[in-house]
Structure 1
Amino acid sequence: MNLRKQFTAGLLLTAFAAMTLPAMADPIFKKKKKEMENPGQKPTASQNILIDKAIVREKAIVKLVKERAPIVETYIQNMRPDPLLLQAPESDQHFLGRVEFGKIIGDAPYEKYTGNAAQKTGGKLGFFKHSLGYMTGLSGALRLTFHEAGFVQMILMDSNDFDRQHYTFTYVRNDFLGTIPTAVFDVTPISGKKAAGRFFGRIWIETREGNVVRFNGDFAGSDEQNKFWYHFDSWRTNAQPGLWLPTSFYVEESDPKSQTNSLKFKAINHIWGYSLKLPPASAENATEEVVGATDVSNDAQDVSPLGAQRAWVQQAEDNVLDRLFQAGLLDAPSDFDKTLEALANNILVYNNITVSTPIRCRTLLTEPLESLAVGNTIIISKSLLDTTAVITADGAQQTANLNAILAFQIAHIILGHRLDTKFAFNDRLLFPTTSVFQRIPMHHTLADNTAAAKKAIELLNAKELVDGQKYFGLYLAQLQERVKNLKSLNEPVIGDALVRSDSDDTFWMQTLLAKGGKLNMADNKQVAAMPLASFLRFDPWSDKVIAMHTAIEPILGAPDKMPFEVAPVYLKLSYYKAPEPPAAPAGTPVPPPADTTAPAGAAPATGTATPPAQ
C-alpha cells in the first residue's frame, strides 16, 4: 500500500487552506468593492430580521464546528487546454485527513495570518509549520502561497466577525435551492484595513430559521498586502434539526493565458463524519461499547474445526469493518449496499457457486478509484461507483460495470485471499483513529490480484453476464487515456486500484479492454465514464450514501462528457427528516416486499435488485 499521499490534518489544511494567486488572477479589493456597489436593493425590515438571525446562527455553527473532528478530503485537478474537449486534466492531487477544528479556528484577526509573516512562522498554530516541507512541492505545482486561515473561511465565511460591524448586506432576490426557500443577499466587507481576508460575495439564507445554506465568492485583499484568493462555492446540508453543516465546496480559477477560456485548476472539498467522537486526550486507545447484539443462544450448536476457522476469519473481518467505520472511512449500512449485495449474489448464482457466509457490501467514502475485500465484505469507493454509473434507458451499462468491479473482489473471496487473521485479536486494533491507514494494510499482493483478475474473467463469462463485458472494457479505455494525468485518483487509500501495481497504465482486468470497442470522444452517443459525484451523495452526519435521481442531460459535444473530472457542486437541499422507525418486532405481520428487477438481460436470482434509477 502506497501511503505517500496520506498526510496529517495539518498538511491537509495547509495544502488547500487559502490558495492564493499571483497579482494577475483577481482585481484588488477597491476595484471589487466598486463593482459590487450596485444592482441590489436595501433590505426591508423583515429581510433585516432574517439577516440578524443568520448572524446569530452563524456564530452557533462556528461554535459547533470547533467541537468536531470530521473527515476532510480535498481533490485538485490542474487543467490544460484541449482542442476537442476545450480543457482536460493535466495532473491531480489528493489529501485526506481527520481535522480537529478546535485547533484550527482561532479568534485573532485574519491580517495577522497573511503574507510572508505567516509563511515563516506557520501562523498562530505551531503544528502547521511541520507541514511546510510538504507544501513546498505543492506550491511549486500549483503556484500557491501558504495561508492557513483560508480553509476555515471557505466553510465558515468569517469565523470571527460575521456581523453588521464588519459587513454590509444588499438584497438580490428570492430563490429555491432544492426544496428550500431562500433569500439571496450580496455581502461586502466594510472598507478599511481590517477588510483584508474577509468574505466578499453572495449568501443564500433559508427563510424558516435564518441559516446560511450556501455562499459563493472569494475574499477581499488590499493594495499593501497584494493578497488574492481563489473563488469558491460552499454548500451546507441540514444534518440535524436546525443544524446546517458545511458539506462540500467547489473551487476554480481561470487560466489568464488561455485563449479558449479553459481553467487553470478546479478542486472539490468534502467534509463528513461530524458525528465521530474526538479521540480522547488521555485514552486514545479506548474502544467504544458494542450494543445491539442479537440473542441466538437457543440456536447454538457445536462448531467443527472448519467452522471454527471460518468464525475466526469472520471475527477479524468484523473487527476491521467496525474500526474503519469508527474512523469515518466506511458508509453506514444503507439500501444501496443491499443493491450491491444482490448483484454480487447474482454473479454467484450464474456461476453455480455457493458460499457459506453471505457476501456483504459497503461503500468507501473517499475519492480514489479502488475496491477491496475484507473477508466476505466487498468495499467499493464512492468515486468508482460514481464514474461507472453511466445512464442508459435500460441500466445495462451501469449494471455491467458494477458486475465487473464486484467480480474482481468476489474472485479474491473464492480464492481464499483473506485478511490477516491477526485482527481477530482486538488488541491489534487498539490504536488512535487518526492512524487507521498506517495500521491496517488491506491491499492484495501482486500475485493475488493477478489470480483474482483471471478468475473474475471466468465469472463474467457466464452467459448472463458475458454481453456486459464490453461496457467495462470501454470504461477502462476511457480511464487509460487519463490514468497518467490522474495519478492521485488512481492511487488507492487502503485497497486495490484498477491499475496494476507494477505498471503505470495496465489494468488488472486488461483483457476486457479489447472488448470495449474503439473509444471515440467525438461520438455524442458514446459515454464511457462519468464525472465524479455523478451517482451517490452522502449524509455528513450519519455517513450514509444515497443514490441520486438526476435528470438525463443531453450530450451536445465532447466537452459535455467530463470523464473522471471534478464538477461544480449543486446539492438538492431539503430540510432534515427523522430516520424511519425501527423494524417491527418478531411476530408482527409484515406486508410482502415489492418486486425487484434483475440486471438487464439476465433472469433474476432470489432477492436480487438493480442499481437505483438515476
Structure 2
Amino acid sequence: MRTSNWMILAVLVLTFAAAAQQAAPAPEAQQPASTSQPAAAQPATAQPSATPAAPVAQSTPVTMDQVVDRFLEREKGLVKMLSARTPVVETYLQNLTQDTQLGPVPKDDRYFLGRMDLSESIDRSDYLKDKEDGMEKRLLGGFTKMFKFQYTPLGFSWMIYADRNDFDRQHYDFRYVRREFTGDVRTLVFDVTPKKDAGKGRFLGRIWIEDQDFNIVRLNGTYTHPSRNTYYFHMDSWRLNLIPGYWVPTYIYSEEGDFTAGAKNKIAFKAQTRMWGYNLRTGTANDELTNIRVDSVKDDTPATQDASPLAAQREWQQQAEDNVLERLERSGLLAPEGELDKVLQTVVNNLQITNNIELPRPVRTRVLITSPLETFSVGNTIVISRGMIDVLPDEASLAAVLSHELAHIVLGHNLGSQYAFNDRMLFSDESTYQNFGFKHIPEEETAADKKAVEMLKNSPYAQKLDAAGLFIKVLQTRAPQLAALLQAHLGNNIAENGTVTRMTQLATSAPALDWNKLDQIAALPLGGRVKLNPWDDKVEMVKAQPVAITSARDKMPFEVTPFFPRLTRYGANANGVGPVSATTASSGNTSAPTN
C-alpha cells in the first residue's frame, strides 16, 4: 500500500507541475540526462586545439538562395567545431511584478550555473547542487509547487542554436528582409518560419547573417507548438567573432510578460544567459613540457638557512592561496589576471597608502566571472565578482566593498590554509562550490566592517562615502526580492534573510534614497561595467556612452536588461569603448556613473 501511495503521488506531481521551459526545442527530442563527474581527477582525453582552424575560403554567393545555402553550411560547421567544447553557462532570472512608480520590478529571482556539453546534443551539469536530499523531499517539493512554472536551466542553454539538428530547407522557409548594420558589421536579415509539417519545437523568428563569411550573428524569436504543460520562451541570442571564421554564442536575453492594462500574466520575467570558458581544458602538462625547456635551476634566495616558523607559515599560506586561484581559474570561475585587476589594485593601494598599511606580502585582486554579488579573500588575494563590479555606481562604492576584504587581511583573518594540500584540488569543476569555502565567523565580519570604515575615513574616498551609503540603502530596498543575486557561493553573504548585514554603518550617514531625484544613482543595472571575452575568459572594465535618465524607471538598480553588444570582426576594436582606470591616491577624482 505504501508503494502504491508513492506511485500516485509521483503521477500527481508529474501531471500537474508545469514546466516553464522544455529542455530541448528539437521535435520529440528527449533531454539527455545530466551526468555528474566523479570527484577524482579526470583521465587524460584528447583535447581540442586552443584555436580551431578557420573555415576554408569559398567563392562569394551571388544569389539569396546561395546565401541561404552558405549560412546553413556555416551553422553546421559551428556545431561541429563546438562539439569538442564544454563552456560554462550562467542564467540569472528575475520574476517581475508591477510597481506604480517604477514599472515592472523584480519580485523574486533564480540563478543557474553549469557546464554545457556540446558534443552529440546539448547537455549540462550544474555547479549548484540541489540542497534537498531524498526522493520524498523532491516529490513533496514538486507537489507544493503544483500549477507553478518550474524553470529548466537546460532550456535556456538550448537557445544558442535555432535548431541544432534540423536547420535546413527541408524543415524551414527563409525569406530575405533587408541589409542592416549591426555594430560595425553589415548583415543580411532573414525571417525564418518552420514548414507546415516540420514538427514541434521548431524555431520561429529572425536571423542576422554577417556578409563576409555568412555566419549567423544573432537570432531573435521563439519555438513553435509547445506540448501540454510546457512553455517556450522568447529569446534574443547574440554571437561574437572571437576566433577567425567563427561567431561563438555568447549572450541570450529572454523576456516574457505583458504589463498593459487588463493583461493577465501567466508568467513575467527577464533573464540573462551568458556563456564563457570555451577554451577551457585545452592545455595539458605535456603541452607545457613541449614548449618550455629548463636548462638549469638555481635558487637565488638570499637566505642561507631554513625558513623560520613565521616565514614557513607565510609560505604555507602563499601555497594555499596560489592553489585556490589556479583551481578556480581552471574551473572557469576566475578570470585570468588582466587590466581590470590593475584597476582594482589601484583602489586597494589607495587604501593601503593613506592608512600606512604595510604587509609582508602584497595584496592582489582577482575577478570572479559570475553574476551574484560576492567578495571574499583567500590569503592576501581579494576576489570580487563581475556582478558586484557591474552594479557599483562609482569608485568610492568600489573602495567600500574592497575595504571590507582588505580589513580581513590586515586583521589576520586568514582562511584557506588547508588548501596547501594539493590532493584537495583534485575534484571535478562542477563540484568546486562543494569543495571550496571562505566564510568568516560573525565576530570576524563585525571586526572587518569596523576596520574598513576606519580605513575609508582616512582614504581619498572619505568625502565621497555618501554614494557608498546610498548603495547600501538601495540594496536593502531590493534585498528581499533578490535572494539569488545576493547568495554568495564561496564567501559570506552581504545580506541574510532579506536584510543587508555588511558595511551598514555607511548607510546611517548617507542622504535619503529618492527615486524621483534623477541625478541620484545609487546602483546600476547588471552588465554595465565589465566586458568578458567568452573564449579566453579575460575581462576588462569598459565605459559605455552616457545615456540621459529621464524618469525613475530608467534607474533599474540590480535589474536585468537586454543585451546589445557592438559587433566587430575578429581583430578589430569596438569604437567608442575604452578601458576605465581607477584614480590614484594623489588625485582622488572619479568619473560620473552612467546607466
TM-score by length of 2: 0.80
Q: Which amino acid aligns with 1:530?
A: L
Return the alpha-carbon distance in structure 1 between the equivalents of residues 153 and 378 of structure 2. 38
Residues 75 and 95, structure 1, Cα contact 8 Å, conserved in 2:
yes
Of the three residues 420, 425, 432, the one matched with 2:421 is 425
Q: Which residue of 2 aligns with 1:267?
A: 271
Shift of 1:279: 12
TM-score by length of 1: 0.77
Structure 1: 5+ residue stretches without partners: 1-13, 21-43, 107-129, 281-285, 391-397, 580-594
Q: Which amino acid aligns with 2:502?
A: W
Identity %: 38
Return the alpha-carbon distance in structure 1 between the equivalents of residues 308 and 141 of structure 2. 58
**Inter-CA distance 439–225: structure 2 relative to 1 (3 Å threshold):** closer
Q: Which residue of 2 aligns with 1:184?
A: 189
Whether 1:539 aligns to 2:541 is: no
Q: Which residue of 2 aligns with 1:564?
A: 558
Q: Which residue of 1 aligns with 2:116?
A: 99
Return the alpha-carbon distance in structure 1 between the equivalents of residues 493 and 345 of structure 2. 21
Return the alpha-carbon distance in structure 2 between the equivalents of residues 66 and 131 of structure 1. 37
**Inter-CA distance 400–137: structure 2 relative to 1 (3 Å threshold):** farther
Equivalent residue runs for 1:85-164 within 5 Å = 85-102=102-119, 104-105=121-122, 133=138, 140=145, 143-144=148-149, 150-164=155-169
Return the alpha-carbon distance in structure 1 between the equivalents of residues 363 and 169 of structure 2. 57
Q: Which amino acid aligns with 2:112?
A: F
Return the alpha-carbon distance in structure 1 between the equivalents of residues 322 and 242 of structure 2. 28
Of the three residues 438, 442, 447, the one matched with 1:451 is 447
Of the three residues 475, 479, 495, the one matched with 2:471 is 475
Of the three residues 490, 493, 501, the one matched with 1:494 is 490
Whether 1:214 aligns to 2:222 is: no
Shift of 1:143: 3.4
Count of paired positions: 519
Return the alpha-carbon distance in structure 1 between the equivalents of residues 261 and 384 of structure 2. 37
Whether 1:311 aligns to 2:315 is: yes
Whether 1:598 aligns to 2:583 is: yes
**Inter-CA distance 410–185: structure 2 relative to 1 (3 Å threshold):** same
Whether 1:170 aligns to 2:187 is: no
Shift of 1:69: 1.5
1:150-201 Cα distance to aligned partner (Å, 9 max, x none): 4454111101111111111111121222212111111111111x33211100
Q: Which residue of 2 aligns with 1:200?
A: 204
**Inter-CA distance 524–495: structure 2 relative to 1 (3 Å threshold):** same
Q: Which residue of 2 aligns with 1:246?
A: 249
1:551-608 Cα distance to aligned partner (Å, 9 max, x none): 11111101111100000011112112299xxxxxxxxxxxxxxx98735xx5159xxx
**Inter-CA distance 149–533: structure 2 relative to 1 (3 Å threshold):** closer
Of the three residues 232, 239, 244, the one matched with 2:235 is 232
Q: Which amino acid aligns with 1:318?
A: D
1:501-528 Cα distance to aligned partner (Å, 9 max, x none): 4x53132211101122100011111110
**Inter-CA distance 358–226: structure 2 relative to 1 (3 Å threshold):** closer
**Inter-CA distance 312–463: structure 2 relative to 1 (3 Å threshold):** closer
Q: Which amino acid aligns with 1:496?
A: N
Structure 2: 5+ residue stretches without partners: 1-17, 25-60, 124-134, 574-579
Residues 71 and 96, structure 1, Cα contact 8 Å, conserved in 2:
yes
Whether 1:47 aligns to 2:64 is: yes
Q: Which amino acid aligns with 1:297?
A: D
Whether 1:67 aligns to 2:67 is: no
Return the alpha-carbon distance in structure 1 between the equivalents of residues 477 and 593 of structure 2. 29
| Residues 249-258 or 57-66, more deviating | 249-258
Question: Alpha carbon RMSD of aligned pairs, Å?
Answer: 3.5
Q: Secondary structure at the match of 1:88?
A: strand
1:81-136 Cα distance to aligned partner (Å, 9 max, x none): 10100111000011112222336439xxxxxxxxxxxxxxxxxxxxxxx9994996
Return the alpha-carbon distance in structure 2 between the equivalents of residues 465 and 149 of structure 1. 44
**Inter-CA distance 492–142: structure 2 relative to 1 (3 Å threshold):** farther
Residues 81 and 260, structure 1, Cα contact 8 Å, conserved in 2:
no
Q: Secondary structure at the match of 2:524?
A: coil
Q: Which residue of 1 aligns with 2:502?
A: 508
Q: Which amino acid aligns with 1:471?
A: A
Return the alpha-carbon distance in structure 2 between the equivalents of residues 358 and 287 of structure 1. 32
Shift of 1:330: 0.4
Shift of 1:268: 0.9
Residues 474 and 519, structure 1, Cα contact 8 Å, conserved in 2:
yes
Q: Which residue of 2 aligns with 1:365?
A: 369
**Inter-CA distance 135–248: structure 2 relative to 1 (3 Å threshold):** farther
Shift of 1:546: 1.9
Residues 135 and 146, structure 1, Cα contact 8 Å, conserved in 2:
no
1:304-363 Cα distance to aligned partner (Å, 9 max, x none): 432222111111000000000000000111101111111101100010111121111111
Q: Which amino acid aligns with 1:301?
A: A
Return the alpha-carbon distance in structure 2 between the equivalents of residues 539 and 134 of structure 1. 40
1:381-413 Cα distance to aligned partner (Å, 9 max, x none): 11110000x3xxxxxxx1101110110000010
